[in-house]
Amino acid sequence: NRQILLASRPVGAPTAANFNLVETAIPAVGTGQMLLRNRWMSLDPYMRGRMSDAKSYADPVPVGGVMTCATVSEVLESKLDGYAAGDLVMSFASGWQDYTLSDGAMVFRLDNNMKEPSQALGVLGMPGFTGYMGLTDIGQPKAGETVVVAAATGPVGTVVGQVAKLMGCRVVGVAGGADKCRYAVEELGFDACIDHKADDLNDKLIAACPKGIDVYFENVGGKVFDAVMPLLNPHARIPLCGLIAQYNATELPAGPDRLPQLMRLMLSQRIRMQGFIIFDNYGHCFPDFLKTMTPWVESGKVRVKEDRVEGLENAPEAFIGLLEGKNFGKLVVKIAD
Ligand code: NDP
Protein backbone atom coordinates (compact mmCIF):
# COMPACT_ATOMS: atom_id res chain seq x y z
CA ASN A 1 0.00 0.00 0.00
CA ARG A 2 1.81 3.10 -1.23
CA GLN A 3 1.09 6.19 0.86
CA ILE A 4 2.16 9.82 0.53
CA LEU A 5 2.89 11.41 3.88
CA LEU A 6 3.34 15.01 4.92
CA ALA A 7 7.09 15.03 5.58
CA SER A 8 7.31 18.64 6.79
CA ARG A 9 5.23 21.80 6.81
CA PRO A 10 5.91 24.13 3.86
CA VAL A 11 7.10 27.68 4.34
CA GLY A 12 5.73 29.53 1.31
CA ALA A 13 5.09 27.36 -1.74
CA PRO A 14 5.18 23.59 -1.08
CA THR A 15 8.07 21.60 -2.58
CA ALA A 16 8.65 17.90 -3.26
CA ALA A 17 10.61 17.73 0.02
CA ASN A 18 7.39 18.34 1.98
CA PHE A 19 6.09 14.92 0.84
CA ASN A 20 7.31 11.38 1.44
CA LEU A 21 6.23 8.27 -0.48
CA VAL A 22 6.29 5.12 1.67
CA GLU A 23 5.21 1.51 1.22
CA THR A 24 3.13 -0.11 3.98
CA ALA A 25 1.16 -3.33 4.38
CA ILE A 26 -2.42 -3.45 3.09
CA PRO A 27 -4.53 -3.10 6.26
CA ALA A 28 -6.58 -6.06 7.54
CA VAL A 29 -10.37 -5.58 7.59
CA GLY A 30 -12.03 -5.78 11.03
CA THR A 31 -15.72 -6.07 11.91
CA GLY A 32 -17.57 -2.90 10.90
CA GLN A 33 -14.92 -1.96 8.37
CA MET A 34 -14.33 -2.18 4.63
CA LEU A 35 -11.22 -1.98 2.45
CA LEU A 36 -11.33 0.52 -0.41
CA ARG A 37 -9.17 0.30 -3.52
CA ASN A 38 -8.73 3.93 -4.50
CA ARG A 39 -9.13 4.53 -8.22
CA TRP A 40 -9.23 8.31 -8.51
CA MET A 41 -8.03 10.87 -6.02
CA SER A 42 -8.89 14.54 -5.95
CA LEU A 43 -6.32 17.31 -5.60
CA ASP A 44 -7.80 20.55 -4.30
CA PRO A 45 -6.48 23.94 -3.18
CA TYR A 46 -7.76 23.42 0.43
CA MET A 47 -5.00 20.85 0.94
CA ARG A 48 -2.49 23.70 1.21
CA GLY A 49 -4.35 24.67 4.41
CA ARG A 50 -4.13 21.11 5.78
CA MET A 51 -0.33 21.20 5.33
CA SER A 52 -0.14 24.23 7.62
CA ASP A 53 -0.79 24.38 11.36
CA ALA A 54 -2.21 27.93 11.16
CA LYS A 55 -5.71 28.26 12.67
CA SER A 56 -8.37 27.11 10.18
CA TYR A 57 -11.80 25.50 9.97
CA ALA A 58 -10.29 21.98 9.92
CA ASP A 59 -7.42 20.27 11.75
CA PRO A 60 -4.08 20.09 9.93
CA VAL A 61 -2.57 16.80 8.74
CA PRO A 62 0.02 15.87 11.39
CA VAL A 63 3.65 15.78 10.22
CA GLY A 64 4.24 12.12 9.31
CA GLY A 65 0.51 11.58 8.63
CA VAL A 66 -1.05 10.52 5.32
CA MET A 67 -2.18 13.49 3.22
CA THR A 68 -5.99 13.57 3.21
CA CYS A 69 -8.21 13.75 0.15
CA ALA A 70 -11.44 12.53 -1.37
CA THR A 71 -11.29 9.44 -3.56
CA VAL A 72 -13.51 7.46 -5.86
CA SER A 73 -12.91 3.89 -4.78
CA GLU A 74 -14.08 0.34 -5.20
CA VAL A 75 -14.98 -1.78 -2.17
CA LEU A 76 -12.54 -4.72 -2.22
CA GLU A 77 -13.67 -6.44 0.96
CA SER A 78 -16.48 -5.53 3.35
CA LYS A 79 -17.38 -6.46 6.91
CA LEU A 80 -19.61 -3.39 7.09
CA ASP A 81 -23.39 -3.67 6.75
CA GLY A 82 -24.73 -2.15 3.54
CA TYR A 83 -21.52 -2.43 1.50
CA ALA A 84 -20.35 -5.34 -0.63
CA ALA A 85 -17.25 -6.09 -2.68
CA GLY A 86 -17.51 -4.38 -6.06
CA ASP A 87 -19.48 -1.35 -4.85
CA LEU A 88 -18.34 2.01 -6.17
CA VAL A 89 -18.10 4.74 -3.53
CA MET A 90 -16.81 8.25 -2.96
CA SER A 91 -14.98 8.78 0.30
CA PHE A 92 -14.25 12.18 1.79
CA ALA A 93 -12.15 10.51 4.51
CA SER A 94 -9.56 8.93 2.28
CA GLY A 95 -5.91 9.66 1.65
CA TRP A 96 -3.12 9.92 -0.89
CA GLN A 97 -2.75 6.13 -0.96
CA ASP A 98 -3.62 2.95 -2.85
CA TYR A 99 -5.98 1.50 -0.21
CA THR A 100 -8.13 3.04 2.53
CA LEU A 101 -9.59 1.25 5.54
CA SER A 102 -13.03 2.75 6.15
CA ASP A 103 -15.76 2.49 8.78
CA GLY A 104 -18.25 4.07 6.35
CA ALA A 105 -17.96 7.59 7.80
CA MET A 106 -17.97 10.28 5.09
CA VAL A 107 -18.54 7.62 2.42
CA PHE A 108 -21.23 7.99 -0.24
CA ARG A 109 -22.43 5.34 -2.59
CA LEU A 110 -22.06 5.98 -6.33
CA ASP A 111 -23.95 4.35 -9.16
CA ASN A 112 -21.83 1.28 -10.01
CA ASN A 113 -22.44 2.01 -13.70
CA MET A 114 -21.48 5.69 -13.51
CA LYS A 115 -19.90 6.55 -16.88
CA GLU A 116 -17.27 8.98 -15.61
CA PRO A 117 -16.75 8.21 -11.89
CA SER A 118 -14.04 10.87 -11.52
CA GLN A 119 -16.75 13.51 -11.99
CA ALA A 120 -17.87 12.68 -8.44
CA LEU A 121 -14.73 14.56 -7.35
CA GLY A 122 -15.43 17.60 -9.53
CA VAL A 123 -18.55 18.88 -11.22
CA LEU A 124 -20.79 16.35 -9.40
CA GLY A 125 -18.85 16.57 -6.15
CA MET A 126 -17.48 19.06 -3.67
CA PRO A 127 -16.16 21.74 -6.11
CA GLY A 128 -19.23 21.76 -8.37
CA PHE A 129 -21.48 21.92 -5.30
CA THR A 130 -19.38 24.84 -4.00
CA GLY A 131 -19.76 26.84 -7.21
CA TYR A 132 -23.49 26.14 -7.42
CA MET A 133 -24.41 26.98 -3.81
CA GLY A 134 -22.11 29.98 -3.47
CA LEU A 135 -23.48 31.48 -6.66
CA THR A 136 -27.16 30.75 -6.19
CA ASP A 137 -27.54 31.18 -2.41
CA ILE A 138 -25.07 33.98 -1.65
CA GLY A 139 -24.59 35.53 -5.10
CA GLN A 140 -28.33 35.43 -5.93
CA PRO A 141 -27.77 36.57 -9.52
CA LYS A 142 -30.65 38.01 -11.52
CA ALA A 143 -31.00 37.85 -15.30
CA GLY A 144 -29.15 40.72 -16.95
CA GLU A 145 -26.69 41.20 -14.08
CA THR A 146 -22.92 40.90 -14.49
CA VAL A 147 -21.15 38.03 -12.71
CA VAL A 148 -17.34 37.87 -12.50
CA VAL A 149 -15.46 34.73 -11.47
CA ALA A 150 -11.71 34.00 -11.35
CA ALA A 151 -10.02 30.59 -11.57
CA ALA A 152 -12.62 30.45 -14.33
CA THR A 153 -11.59 27.13 -15.91
CA GLY A 154 -11.31 25.17 -12.64
CA PRO A 155 -14.14 23.01 -11.28
CA VAL A 156 -15.61 25.78 -9.10
CA GLY A 157 -15.27 28.55 -11.70
CA THR A 158 -16.64 26.53 -14.63
CA VAL A 159 -19.80 25.75 -12.66
CA VAL A 160 -20.21 29.33 -11.42
CA GLY A 161 -19.91 30.76 -14.91
CA GLN A 162 -22.06 28.19 -16.70
CA VAL A 163 -24.84 28.30 -14.10
CA ALA A 164 -24.79 32.11 -14.18
CA LYS A 165 -25.18 31.93 -17.97
CA LEU A 166 -28.15 29.55 -17.53
CA MET A 167 -29.63 32.17 -15.19
CA GLY A 168 -29.38 34.82 -17.91
CA CYS A 169 -26.38 36.80 -16.63
CA ARG A 170 -23.46 38.41 -18.38
CA VAL A 171 -20.46 36.31 -17.31
CA VAL A 172 -16.88 37.50 -17.25
CA GLY A 173 -14.17 35.03 -16.31
CA VAL A 174 -10.63 35.73 -15.15
CA ALA A 175 -8.02 33.04 -15.87
CA GLY A 176 -4.29 32.57 -16.32
CA GLY A 177 -3.22 32.62 -19.96
CA ALA A 178 -4.71 32.84 -23.45
CA ASP A 179 -5.63 29.13 -23.76
CA LYS A 180 -7.72 29.11 -20.61
CA CYS A 181 -9.42 32.39 -21.60
CA ARG A 182 -10.23 31.08 -25.07
CA TYR A 183 -11.71 27.90 -23.59
CA ALA A 184 -13.92 29.90 -21.20
CA VAL A 185 -15.42 31.94 -24.05
CA GLU A 186 -15.51 29.39 -26.88
CA GLU A 187 -16.36 26.19 -25.01
CA LEU A 188 -18.08 27.36 -21.83
CA GLY A 189 -19.94 30.27 -23.41
CA PHE A 190 -18.69 33.05 -21.12
CA ASP A 191 -19.17 36.54 -22.58
CA ALA A 192 -15.54 37.46 -21.94
CA CYS A 193 -12.51 36.14 -20.08
CA ILE A 194 -9.56 38.26 -18.97
CA ASP A 195 -6.00 36.99 -18.56
CA HIS A 196 -4.81 38.02 -15.08
CA LYS A 197 -1.19 37.54 -16.13
CA ALA A 198 -1.44 40.32 -18.75
CA ASP A 199 -0.42 43.89 -17.83
CA ASP A 200 -3.77 45.43 -18.74
CA LEU A 201 -5.99 43.41 -16.36
CA ASN A 202 -7.70 46.50 -14.93
CA ASP A 203 -8.47 48.11 -18.31
CA LYS A 204 -9.70 44.82 -19.81
CA LEU A 205 -11.99 44.20 -16.85
CA ILE A 206 -13.45 47.71 -17.10
CA ALA A 207 -14.11 47.12 -20.81
CA ALA A 208 -15.69 43.70 -20.17
CA CYS A 209 -18.02 45.04 -17.45
CA PRO A 210 -19.63 48.16 -18.98
CA LYS A 211 -22.48 48.02 -16.43
CA GLY A 212 -20.24 47.30 -13.44
CA ILE A 213 -20.19 44.08 -11.39
CA ASP A 214 -23.21 42.75 -9.47
CA VAL A 215 -21.77 39.42 -8.28
CA TYR A 216 -18.08 38.77 -7.76
CA PHE A 217 -17.49 35.12 -6.93
CA GLU A 218 -14.21 35.32 -5.01
CA ASN A 219 -11.82 32.41 -5.60
CA VAL A 220 -8.44 34.11 -5.62
CA GLY A 221 -8.01 37.49 -3.87
CA GLY A 222 -4.87 39.51 -4.62
CA LYS A 223 -4.69 41.71 -7.69
CA VAL A 224 -7.90 40.30 -9.18
CA PHE A 225 -9.86 41.58 -6.20
CA ASP A 226 -8.06 44.93 -6.48
CA ALA A 227 -9.24 45.19 -10.09
CA VAL A 228 -12.81 44.17 -9.20
CA MET A 229 -13.27 46.51 -6.22
CA PRO A 230 -13.83 49.83 -8.05
CA LEU A 231 -16.33 48.20 -10.42
CA LEU A 232 -18.69 46.82 -7.78
CA ASN A 233 -22.25 48.12 -8.14
CA PRO A 234 -24.52 49.17 -5.28
CA HIS A 235 -25.87 46.06 -3.52
CA ALA A 236 -23.22 43.81 -5.09
CA ARG A 237 -22.84 40.34 -3.55
CA ILE A 238 -19.50 38.60 -2.99
CA PRO A 239 -19.58 34.87 -2.18
CA LEU A 240 -16.17 34.55 -0.46
CA CYS A 241 -15.15 31.07 -1.51
CA GLY A 242 -11.35 30.99 -1.72
CA LEU A 243 -8.22 33.15 -1.72
CA ILE A 244 -5.75 31.00 -3.59
CA ALA A 245 -3.44 33.93 -4.44
CA GLN A 246 -2.68 34.12 -0.70
CA TYR A 247 -2.36 30.45 0.26
CA ASN A 248 1.44 30.38 -0.04
CA ALA A 249 1.94 33.85 1.48
CA THR A 250 4.21 34.14 4.50
CA GLU A 251 3.44 37.78 5.24
CA LEU A 252 0.94 40.54 4.45
CA PRO A 253 1.23 42.03 0.93
CA ALA A 254 3.42 45.08 0.47
CA GLY A 255 1.91 48.50 -0.02
CA PRO A 256 -0.59 50.66 1.83
CA ASP A 257 -3.26 49.12 4.06
CA ARG A 258 -6.38 49.00 1.87
CA LEU A 259 -8.75 47.75 4.54
CA PRO A 260 -10.25 51.21 5.29
CA GLN A 261 -10.91 51.70 1.56
CA LEU A 262 -12.63 48.31 1.35
CA MET A 263 -14.78 48.94 4.42
CA ARG A 264 -15.81 52.35 3.11
CA LEU A 265 -16.76 50.80 -0.24
CA MET A 266 -18.77 48.04 1.43
CA LEU A 267 -20.63 50.62 3.51
CA SER A 268 -21.29 53.19 0.80
CA GLN A 269 -22.26 50.61 -1.86
CA ARG A 270 -24.10 48.40 0.66
CA ILE A 271 -22.11 45.35 -0.46
CA ARG A 272 -22.64 41.92 1.07
CA MET A 273 -19.60 39.65 1.34
CA GLN A 274 -20.12 36.24 2.91
CA GLY A 275 -17.59 33.51 3.52
CA PHE A 276 -18.73 29.89 3.38
CA ILE A 277 -17.31 26.40 3.82
CA ILE A 278 -19.36 24.22 1.54
CA PHE A 279 -20.38 21.18 3.58
CA ASP A 280 -20.53 23.17 6.80
CA ASN A 281 -22.99 25.71 5.36
CA TYR A 282 -24.83 23.59 2.82
CA GLY A 283 -24.30 19.84 3.47
CA HIS A 284 -28.06 19.22 3.62
CA CYS A 285 -28.47 20.62 0.06
CA PHE A 286 -26.16 18.08 -1.61
CA PRO A 287 -28.88 15.63 -2.80
CA ASP A 288 -30.89 18.48 -4.34
CA PHE A 289 -27.76 19.82 -6.02
CA LEU A 290 -27.10 16.42 -7.61
CA LYS A 291 -30.70 16.25 -8.86
CA THR A 292 -30.18 19.57 -10.66
CA MET A 293 -26.59 19.19 -11.86
CA THR A 294 -26.58 15.54 -13.02
CA PRO A 295 -28.99 16.09 -15.95
CA TRP A 296 -27.20 19.32 -16.87
CA VAL A 297 -23.92 17.40 -17.16
CA GLU A 298 -25.51 14.45 -18.96
CA SER A 299 -27.21 16.71 -21.52
CA GLY A 300 -24.08 18.81 -22.07
CA LYS A 301 -25.74 21.97 -20.73
CA VAL A 302 -22.86 22.15 -18.29
CA ARG A 303 -19.52 21.22 -19.86
CA VAL A 304 -16.81 19.47 -17.90
CA LYS A 305 -13.04 19.80 -18.10
CA GLU A 306 -10.74 17.45 -16.23
CA ASP A 307 -6.97 17.49 -15.95
CA ARG A 308 -6.02 13.84 -15.42
CA VAL A 309 -2.65 12.87 -14.00
CA GLU A 310 -1.54 9.24 -14.02
CA GLY A 311 -0.02 7.60 -10.95
CA LEU A 312 -0.11 8.25 -7.22
CA GLU A 313 3.62 9.04 -7.24
CA ASN A 314 2.93 12.11 -9.41
CA ALA A 315 0.43 13.63 -6.98
CA PRO A 316 2.88 15.95 -5.12
CA GLU A 317 4.14 17.57 -8.33
CA ALA A 318 0.59 17.95 -9.64
CA PHE A 319 -0.55 19.53 -6.38
CA ILE A 320 2.37 22.00 -6.39
CA GLY A 321 1.37 22.89 -9.96
CA LEU A 322 -2.28 23.45 -8.95
CA LEU A 323 -1.23 26.31 -6.69
CA GLU A 324 0.66 27.85 -9.64
CA GLY A 325 -2.22 27.48 -12.11
CA LYS A 326 -0.55 24.67 -14.08
CA ASN A 327 -3.75 22.59 -14.05
CA PHE A 328 -6.32 23.12 -16.78
CA GLY A 329 -9.63 21.84 -15.42
CA LYS A 330 -10.45 19.71 -12.39
CA LEU A 331 -7.22 18.05 -11.22
CA VAL A 332 -7.62 14.32 -10.53
CA VAL A 333 -5.04 11.57 -10.18
CA LYS A 334 -5.69 8.10 -11.56
CA ILE A 335 -4.37 5.57 -9.06
CA ALA A 336 -5.82 2.34 -10.46
CA ASP A 337 -8.20 1.07 -13.16
P1 NDP B 1 -8.82 25.26 -9.61
O2 NDP B 1 -8.78 23.93 -10.26
O3 NDP B 1 -9.44 26.38 -10.33
O4 NDP B 1 -7.29 25.57 -9.30
C5 NDP B 1 -6.86 26.72 -8.75
C6 NDP B 1 -6.65 27.80 -9.81
O7 NDP B 1 -6.45 29.04 -9.15
C8 NDP B 1 -5.39 27.64 -10.64
O9 NDP B 1 -5.55 26.73 -11.69
C10 NDP B 1 -5.19 29.05 -11.14
O11 NDP B 1 -5.97 29.23 -12.31
C12 NDP B 1 -5.80 29.90 -10.03
N13 NDP B 1 -4.75 30.66 -9.34
C14 NDP B 1 -3.72 30.18 -8.65
N15 NDP B 1 -2.96 31.19 -8.18
C16 NDP B 1 -3.55 32.33 -8.58
C17 NDP B 1 -3.26 33.72 -8.42
N18 NDP B 1 -2.18 34.10 -7.73
N19 NDP B 1 -4.09 34.64 -8.96
C20 NDP B 1 -5.17 34.23 -9.66
N21 NDP B 1 -5.51 32.94 -9.85
C22 NDP B 1 -4.70 32.01 -9.32
O23 NDP B 1 -9.42 25.19 -8.15
P24 NDP B 1 -10.90 24.92 -7.61
O25 NDP B 1 -11.90 25.24 -8.65
O26 NDP B 1 -10.92 23.58 -6.99
O27 NDP B 1 -11.01 25.99 -6.42
C28 NDP B 1 -11.19 27.37 -6.69
C29 NDP B 1 -11.23 28.13 -5.36
O30 NDP B 1 -12.34 27.69 -4.59
C31 NDP B 1 -10.00 27.94 -4.49
O32 NDP B 1 -9.67 29.17 -3.89
C33 NDP B 1 -10.48 26.97 -3.43
O34 NDP B 1 -9.74 27.07 -2.23
C35 NDP B 1 -11.91 27.40 -3.27
N36 NDP B 1 -12.82 26.39 -2.71
C37 NDP B 1 -13.55 26.74 -1.60
C38 NDP B 1 -14.46 25.88 -1.04
C39 NDP B 1 -15.27 26.32 0.13
O40 NDP B 1 -16.00 25.51 0.72
N41 NDP B 1 -15.22 27.59 0.52
C42 NDP B 1 -14.64 24.52 -1.58
C43 NDP B 1 -13.87 24.27 -2.80
C44 NDP B 1 -12.99 25.18 -3.32
P45 NDP B 1 -5.55 30.31 -13.42
O46 NDP B 1 -4.39 29.72 -14.15
O47 NDP B 1 -6.77 30.45 -14.24
O48 NDP B 1 -5.18 31.55 -12.70
Point out the ligand 1 atom lying closest to the alpha carbon of residue 330: 2
Element of type H or E holding 129: helix 126-133
Interval 250-305: pLDDT, tens:
999 888 999 999 999 999 999 999 999 999 999 999 999 999 999 999 999 999 99
Whether residue 25 sits in one domain with residue 13: yes
Distance from the CA of 337 to the center of ligand 1, in angstroms? Answer: 28
- Helical spans, DSSP H, in 214-330: 222-228, 259-268, 278-282, 286-299, 315-322
Whether residue 82 sits in one domain with residue 12: yes
Considering only CA atoms, give the Rg of the chain: 20
With a Cβ cut-off of 6 Å, ligand 1 is lined by 44-46, 126-127, 130, 150-151, 153-157, 175-176, 180, 196, 219-220, 222, 224, 241-242, 244-245, 276-278, 322, 325, 327, 331
Please give the share of the chain, as a percent, with pLDDT higher than 70.
100
Whether residue 166 sits in one domain with residue 84: no
How far apart are the C-alpha atoms of 226 and 243, rounded to whole Å? Answer: 13
Q: Residues 216-241: what's their mean pLDDT?
A: 97
Whether residue 111 sits in one domain with residue 254: no
Q: Residues 54-66: what's their mean pLDDT?
A: 94
Longest alpha-carbon distance in the chain: 63
Q: State the pLDDT at residue 254.
A: 87
ipTM over 0.95: yes
Pocket test for ligand 1, best of 162, 218, 244, 319 (most atoms within 8 A of CB): 244
**pLDDT interval class at 325 (50, 70, 90):** very high
How far apart are the C-alpha atoms of 149 and 236, rounded to whole Å? Answer: 14
Q: State the pLDDT at residue 198.
A: 94
State the CATH number of the domain containing residue 89: 3.90.180.10
- Is residue 28 in some structural domain? yes
Domain that holds residue 18: 2-122+304-334
- Is residue 296 in some structural domain? no
